[in-house]
Amino acid sequence: MKMGNNEIEVLDTASPPALPAGSHVMTATIALPPGDPGSPPHRHSGPVFGYMLEGEMIFELEGEPERVIKAGEAFWEPGGDVIHYQAANNLADRPSKFVVVMVCAPDQQMLVLVSPEELDARKDRRAPRPGA
């Protein structure tokens, strides 16, 4: 797509839920050391949009099979009730890094860890995993 003299490459599109009044947005870079498993299972109060800057990440959301996102690729998650199982470095020999834009719902935390009890209660919602 051209805009004036600029070339614009669309990486991803999404139809996120409506944002409640009072939401705020945070942009951050996340660096994962070689082989790092990333955060434990968690959820975000609002949608998250990301872009892999370098390396590879194993990305897994509730109800979807895990997939590898490589440098130059975009990803997103809806937030809310959906569990984010993995955002792990897929490379054992070098770091990976991505940038995220996270929307936080009013009066809620940006990231909340999921208890082992809830993971067990919702295990039927997790897609089959390779080798599992």
Q: Does domain 21-124 have CATH number 2.60.120.10?
A: yes
Q: pLDDT per residue over 4-63, tens digit each? A: 777 888 888 888 777 778 899 999 999 999 999 999 999 999 999 999 999 999 999 999
User: Does the predicted model carry a pTM greater than 0.75?
Assistant: yes
Cβ–Cβ < 8 Å for 38, 89: yes
Report long-range pairs for 74-77 (Cβ below 8 Å, ≥24 apart).
74/11, 74/12, 74/49, 74/50, 75/12, 75/49, 75/50, 75/51, 76/12, 76/14, 76/16, 76/47, 76/48, 76/49, 76/50, 77/44, 77/47, 77/48
Q: pLDDT per residue over 87-121, tens digit each? A: 999 999 999 999 999 999 999 999 999 999 999 99
